[in-house]
Chains A and B, each alone.
Chain A
Amino acid sequence: MIALLARDLTLAIRAGGGFGLGLAFFLILAVLVPLGVGPEGEILARIAPGILWVGALLACLLSLDRIFALDFEDGSLDLLATAPIPLEGVVSIKALAHWLTTGLPLTLAAPVLGVLFSLPATGYLWLVVSLTLGTPALSVIGTFGAALTVGLKRGGLLLSLLVLPMYIPTLVFGAEVVARGAAGLSVTTPLVLLAGITFGAAALLPFASAMVIRINLR
């Protein structure tokens, strides 16, 4: 499994486009929003949690169809499905690799963008915490979506239609953590709910993803 993780990471970094693309998209989005909304600090600070979370979500979405598509095309997905490790494990590793190459960089880059949005100082900690807790859920849910659409020729657009509604709870609770943290309120409730979604999704969705891949490979 570690070998698989290493392979996926190497592929993501060397194959070009996948690794930095999400991050670059996140940056571009963060530049575009103030240009569209206007440069007033108060408004930006108010919408910062939401914008940063929506940005993370969209950046995550960009690289989703790469999770299985390449492996499906060159046949290595069939090999992985018949490999001695269970397919559920393969799917989890794939999700982890996706998180390491998109979710983690986004989490690390977000505080810098928080400065651009003049986020209140108290918000930074919660921004990082909520993204660390929430982006794994995005990767796991996205892996399920990618597994659903892996056999389709033009799955990309369908993928976003399927996955984005499922991102809603994560988005709501994640942005709420940042908003409350920035306002100095208690963040316990949304934080617990966010963690619940992440752990619940990570525990259950790989089974659904593996099932869907088996159907797609049939």
Chain B
Amino acid sequence: MTSLWEYANPRKFMATTGWLLPLISMLAAVCVTVGLIWGFFFTPDDFRQGSTVKIVFIHVPAAMMAINAWVMMLIASLIWLIRRHHVSALAAKAAAPVGVVMTLIALFTGAIWGQPMWGTWWAWDPRLTSFLILFLFYLGYVAMWAAIDDPDTGADLTAVLCLVGSVFAVLSRYAAIFWNQGLHQGASLSVAPGERMDMTYKLPLYVSMLGFGLLFLALVLAGTRTEIRARRMKALIARERMV
């Protein structure tokens, strides 16, 4: 009987991801390429938004993955704290920079999209604000990892930070919603394109979302493998010094 926890063994993890990673990377490349090309060149212009609507094919998947990356870090941190599987802590570490980049992509494409649509690069809309806050949380998490030398202490501290940070990130999101509606009486800018969408847009968007998800998975796996190799190297160097 095989269980998921077997992959907590770095050797088993390395062996499995060794052949899985190229596969996932290929799939991710195919999905992203197909999704984006389909989205950019083979969908009609929107009757109201014109061709600018097409940035949705990057913006929405990136935003989705920015949140999912944090959720994944949260789960991985919990696993590390409870069962102390090193691969889990390293996966959380590897996911953070990807989350940073996804958040940045979402913010930038949002600004580029917002300029022609709303006439402004930035608005203190609850969604935008909570993404900026999420970005700050990511920065703190990455900086925390970078600041600590001892790997186990680092994993422990960042895991606790991730747990506490998640609670505050959620709180901040609701605070942002409360704050804006309370002060400015309801933001009229809605960033929810998924709802009234036609199938011609939805299908490439789904492909692109799947592609971003796979891309995230591939990057995290690659990052985790790098971390494991770096640790092995450190152990080897330490052993050589002892002899």
Interface residues of A (CB under 8 A from B): 141, 144, 148-149, 151-152, 155, 158, 161-162, 164-166, 168-169, 172-173, 176, 179-180, 189-190, 193, 197, 205, 208, 211-212, 215-216, 218
Tell me the minimal C-beta distance from B199 to chain A in angstroms: 39
Q: DSSP majority for the B interface?
A: helix
Q: Mark B175-195, 1 if CB is under 8 A from A, else 0.
A: 110110011000000000000
Chain B residues whose CB sits within 8 angstroms of the CB of A176 once the complex forms: 178-179, 182-183
B153 CB within 8 Å of chain A: yes
With contacts A158-B144, A164-B136, A168-B133 taken as known, whether A193 is within 8 angstroms of B161 at the C-beta atoms is no
| Contact for A166 among B148, B157, B165, B182, CB less than 8 A | B165
Chain B residues whose CB sits within 8 angstroms of the CB of A144 once the complex forms: 164
| Contact for B137 among A165, A172, A215, A218, CB less than 8 A | A165
In the complex, what residue of chain A is closest to B134 when comparing beta carbons?
A165
> Once the chains bind, are B140 and A161 in contact (CB under 8 Å)?
yes
The residue in B139, B143, B165, B172 that gathers the most chain A C-beta atoms within 10 A of its C-beta is: B172
The residue in A164, A168, A208, A211 that gathers the most chain B C-beta atoms within 10 A of its C-beta is: A168
With contacts A190-B182, A193-B178 taken as known, whether A161 is within 8 angstroms of B139 at the C-beta atoms is yes
> Once the chains bind, are B175 and A169 in contact (CB under 8 Å)?
yes
> Once the chains bind, are A168 and B165 in contact (CB under 8 Å)?
no
| Contact for A151 among B153, B169, B171, B183, CB less than 8 A | B153
> Once the chains bind, are B178 and A168 in contact (CB under 8 Å)?
no
Q: How far is the CA of A158 from the CA of B142 in the complex (A)?
A: 10
B160 CB within 8 Å of chain A: yes
Q: How far is the CA of A110 from the CA of B121 in the complex (A)?
A: 36
> Once the chains bind, are B164 and A205 in contact (CB under 8 Å)?
yes
In the complex, what residue of chain A is closest to B164 when comparing beta carbons?
A208
> Once the chains bind, are B164 and A172 in contact (CB under 8 Å)?
no
User: Total A-B pairs in contact (CB under 8 Å)?
Assistant: 81
Chain B residues whose CB sits within 8 angstroms of the CB of A218 once the complex forms: 153
Q: How far is the CA of A148 from the CA of B171 in the complex (A)?
A: 20
Chain B residues whose CB sits within 8 angstroms of the CB of A165 once the complex forms: 133, 136-137, 140, 165, 168-169, 172
A144-B164, A173-B175 known, 6 other contacts, Cβ within 8 Å:
A148-B160, A165-B172, A176-B183, A179-B183, A180-B182, A208-B164
> Once the chains bind, are B157 and A172 in contact (CB under 8 Å)?
no
Chain B residues whose CB sits within 8 angstroms of the CB of A164 once the complex forms: 136
6 contacts between A and B (CB under 8 A): A152-B147, A158-B143, A168-B172, A173-B178, A197-B171, A212-B160
Interface residues of B (CB under 8 A from A): 133, 136-137, 139-140, 143-144, 147-148, 153, 156-157, 160-161, 163-165, 168-169, 171-172, 174-176, 178-179, 182-183
Chain A residues whose CB sits within 8 angstroms of the CB of B165 once the complex forms: 165-166
Q: How far is the CA of A125 from the CA of B193 in the complex (A)?
A: 44
Q: How far is the CA of A26 from the CA of B183 in the complex (A)?
A: 25
Chain B residues whose CB sits within 8 angstroms of the CB of A161 once the complex forms: 136, 139-140, 143
With contacts A158-B143, A165-B172, A205-B164 taken as known, whether A212 is within 8 angstroms of B157 at the C-beta atoms is yes
Tell me the minimal C-beta distance from A18 to chain B in angstroms: 24
> Once the chains bind, are A208 and B163 in contact (CB under 8 Å)?
yes
